[in-house]
Copies of this chain bind each other. A is one copy, B any other.
Amino acid sequence: MTDLKKERQRAESDARTHGYYLNPDAATLEALLEGLKRNEERYGYPSCPCRLASGKFEFDRDIVCPCDYRDPDVEEFGHCYCTLYVRKDVFEGKTPFAPIPERRPSEKQSRAYRLDIEETKTVDNDSKTKMKMWYCRQCGYVCFREDPPYVCPICKAKREMFSEIIINTDFQG
Protein backbone atom coordinates (compact mmCIF):
# COMPACT_ATOMS: atom_id res chain seq x y z
CA MET A 1 0.00 0.00 0.00
CA THR A 2 1.40 3.38 -0.97
CA ASP A 3 1.78 5.98 1.72
CA LEU A 4 -0.73 8.19 -0.01
CA LYS A 5 -3.35 5.45 0.28
CA LYS A 6 -2.53 5.18 3.97
CA GLU A 7 -3.03 8.89 4.47
CA ARG A 8 -6.36 8.67 2.66
CA GLN A 9 -7.54 5.75 4.75
CA ARG A 10 -6.51 7.35 8.01
CA ALA A 11 -8.35 10.51 7.03
CA GLU A 12 -11.46 8.62 5.88
CA SER A 13 -11.63 6.54 9.02
CA ASP A 14 -11.07 9.62 11.15
CA ALA A 15 -13.76 11.59 9.29
CA ARG A 16 -16.31 8.83 9.83
CA THR A 17 -15.44 8.51 13.50
CA HIS A 18 -16.09 12.18 14.07
CA GLY A 19 -19.08 12.52 11.80
CA TYR A 20 -17.30 14.53 9.11
CA TYR A 21 -16.62 14.08 5.38
CA LEU A 22 -13.50 14.63 3.31
CA ASN A 23 -13.22 17.42 0.73
CA PRO A 24 -15.51 16.44 -2.18
CA ASP A 25 -13.14 17.78 -4.82
CA ALA A 26 -10.83 14.92 -5.83
CA ALA A 27 -7.92 17.10 -6.92
CA THR A 28 -7.98 19.26 -3.79
CA LEU A 29 -8.23 16.18 -1.61
CA GLU A 30 -5.29 14.55 -3.33
CA ALA A 31 -3.15 17.67 -2.93
CA LEU A 32 -3.95 17.81 0.79
CA LEU A 33 -3.14 14.14 1.29
CA GLU A 34 0.12 14.66 -0.62
CA GLY A 35 0.94 17.48 1.78
CA LEU A 36 0.27 15.24 4.79
CA LYS A 37 2.43 12.49 3.34
CA ARG A 38 5.28 14.95 2.71
CA ASN A 39 5.14 16.22 6.28
CA GLU A 40 5.02 12.65 7.62
CA GLU A 41 8.22 11.89 5.68
CA ARG A 42 9.90 15.13 6.64
CA TYR A 43 8.98 15.33 10.33
CA GLY A 44 7.78 11.86 11.26
CA TYR A 45 4.22 13.07 11.84
CA PRO A 46 1.49 14.35 9.49
CA SER A 47 1.38 18.01 10.41
CA CYS A 48 -1.13 20.28 8.69
CA PRO A 49 -0.32 20.78 4.99
CA CYS A 50 -1.43 24.44 5.17
CA ARG A 51 0.71 25.52 8.10
CA LEU A 52 4.39 25.89 8.87
CA ALA A 53 5.68 23.22 11.23
CA SER A 54 8.83 23.67 13.29
CA GLY A 55 9.86 20.03 13.20
CA LYS A 56 9.66 19.81 17.03
CA PHE A 57 6.74 17.57 17.85
CA GLU A 58 5.92 19.11 21.23
CA PHE A 59 5.67 22.53 19.64
CA ASP A 60 3.78 21.36 16.53
CA ARG A 61 1.37 19.11 18.44
CA ASP A 62 -1.62 21.43 17.98
CA ILE A 63 -1.25 21.33 14.16
CA VAL A 64 -0.70 17.59 13.71
CA CYS A 65 -3.65 16.44 11.62
CA PRO A 66 -6.39 16.24 12.86
CA CYS A 67 -5.36 19.56 14.40
CA ASP A 68 -6.77 21.00 17.62
CA TYR A 69 -8.66 23.61 15.64
CA ARG A 70 -10.56 21.27 13.32
CA ASP A 71 -13.53 20.59 15.56
CA PRO A 72 -14.41 24.22 16.38
CA ASP A 73 -13.73 25.24 12.76
CA VAL A 74 -15.96 22.55 11.28
CA GLU A 75 -18.63 23.49 13.80
CA GLU A 76 -18.45 27.23 13.09
CA PHE A 77 -17.47 27.38 9.41
CA GLY A 78 -18.40 23.97 8.03
CA HIS A 79 -14.82 22.89 7.27
CA CYS A 80 -11.35 22.91 8.77
CA TYR A 81 -8.69 25.50 7.94
CA CYS A 82 -7.33 23.28 5.12
CA THR A 83 -10.75 22.17 3.87
CA LEU A 84 -9.66 18.54 4.35
CA TYR A 85 -12.52 17.81 6.77
CA VAL A 86 -15.94 19.18 5.87
CA ARG A 87 -19.44 19.08 7.35
CA LYS A 88 -22.26 17.18 5.66
CA ASP A 89 -24.00 20.30 4.28
CA VAL A 90 -20.73 21.57 2.82
CA PHE A 91 -19.93 18.11 1.41
CA GLU A 92 -23.33 18.07 -0.28
CA GLY A 93 -22.83 21.55 -1.73
CA LYS A 94 -25.66 23.11 0.30
CA THR A 95 -23.29 25.44 2.12
CA PRO A 96 -20.39 27.06 0.25
CA PHE A 97 -16.78 26.99 1.39
CA ALA A 98 -15.85 30.25 3.06
CA PRO A 99 -12.58 31.88 4.09
CA ILE A 100 -11.92 31.20 7.76
CA PRO A 101 -9.65 33.00 10.19
CA GLU A 102 -6.57 31.19 11.54
CA ARG A 103 -7.42 30.02 15.04
CA ARG A 104 -3.83 29.10 15.92
CA PRO A 105 -2.38 31.85 18.12
CA SER A 106 -0.24 34.21 16.04
CA GLU A 107 2.46 34.00 18.69
CA LYS A 108 2.78 30.26 17.92
CA GLN A 109 2.81 30.94 14.19
CA SER A 110 5.67 33.37 14.43
CA ARG A 111 7.61 31.17 16.85
CA ALA A 112 7.36 28.34 14.29
CA TYR A 113 9.52 30.40 11.91
CA ARG A 114 12.12 31.08 14.52
CA LEU A 115 12.24 27.43 15.56
CA ASP A 116 13.46 26.54 12.09
CA ILE A 117 16.69 28.38 12.58
CA GLU A 118 17.26 28.55 16.33
CA GLU A 119 18.16 25.88 18.79
CA THR A 120 15.33 25.64 21.26
CA LYS A 121 16.22 23.20 23.93
CA THR A 122 13.51 24.41 26.20
CA VAL A 123 10.54 23.56 24.00
CA ASP A 124 10.09 20.08 25.41
CA ASN A 125 10.61 21.09 29.00
CA ASP A 126 8.28 24.03 28.71
CA SER A 127 5.40 22.00 27.47
CA LYS A 128 5.85 19.03 29.78
CA THR A 129 5.53 21.15 32.87
CA LYS A 130 2.18 22.50 31.66
CA MET A 131 0.50 19.13 31.09
CA LYS A 132 -2.66 18.58 33.10
CA MET A 133 -5.29 15.90 33.47
CA TRP A 134 -8.69 17.20 32.30
CA TYR A 135 -12.17 15.67 32.41
CA CYS A 136 -15.41 16.53 30.66
CA ARG A 137 -17.98 17.38 33.34
CA GLN A 138 -20.76 16.11 31.07
CA CYS A 139 -19.58 12.61 30.09
CA GLY A 140 -16.43 12.08 32.15
CA TYR A 141 -13.98 11.78 29.22
CA VAL A 142 -10.40 12.12 30.50
CA CYS A 143 -7.44 13.55 28.61
CA PHE A 144 -3.89 14.67 29.38
CA ARG A 145 -2.97 17.90 27.60
CA GLU A 146 -1.85 21.46 28.16
CA ASP A 147 -5.36 22.79 27.53
CA PRO A 148 -8.67 20.98 27.21
CA PRO A 149 -9.89 20.22 23.66
CA TYR A 150 -12.30 22.66 21.98
CA VAL A 151 -14.97 19.98 21.75
CA CYS A 152 -15.29 16.75 23.76
CA PRO A 153 -14.64 13.89 21.28
CA ILE A 154 -17.13 11.66 23.09
CA CYS A 155 -20.19 13.82 23.86
CA LYS A 156 -19.41 16.99 21.84
CA ALA A 157 -19.63 19.24 24.91
CA LYS A 158 -17.80 22.55 24.57
CA ARG A 159 -14.38 23.33 26.02
CA GLU A 160 -15.94 25.17 28.96
CA MET A 161 -17.29 21.83 30.20
CA PHE A 162 -13.76 20.63 30.99
CA SER A 163 -12.23 20.88 34.45
CA GLU A 164 -8.88 19.84 35.81
CA ILE A 165 -8.52 16.65 37.84
CA ILE A 166 -6.46 17.33 40.90
CA ILE A 167 -5.05 14.50 42.97
CA ASN A 168 -5.12 15.48 46.57
CA THR A 169 -2.93 13.86 49.15
CA ASP A 170 -3.60 15.34 52.52
CA PHE A 171 -1.33 15.03 55.49
CA GLN A 172 -2.31 16.05 58.94
CA GLY A 173 -0.04 16.04 61.92
Contact = CB atoms under 8 A, between A and B. Distances in A.
Closest 7 pairs between A and B when the two form their complex, measured CB to CB: A16-B19, A140-B145, A140-B143, A13-B19, A135-B144, A142-B142, A14-B156
A169 interface: yes
A124 B60 CA distance: 38
Given A66-B155, A135-B143, A140-B145, A18 B20 contact: no
12 contacts: A9-B75, A12-B19, A13-B18, A13-B19, A13-B75, A17-B156, A45-B138, A66-B155, A133-B142, A135-B143, A139-B145, A141-B143
Contacts of A75: 6, 9-10, 13
Q: How many copies does the complex hold?
A: 3
Interface footprint category on A = 35 or more
A14 to B, nearest CB: 5
A10 to B, nearest CB: 5
A57 interface: yes
Interface string A49-79: 0000000010001001010000000011000
Given A66-B155, A154-B153, A88 B143 contact: no
Interface string A117-146: 000000000000000011101111111110
Interface of A: 1, 6, 9-10, 12-20, 45, 57, 61, 64, 66, 75-76, 87-88, 133-135, 137-145, 149, 153-157, 161, 165, 167, 169
A149 B144 contact: no
Contact of A144 (B6, B12, B64, B142): B142
Among A17, A140, A141, A169, residue most surrounded by chain B Cβ atoms (within 10 Å): A140
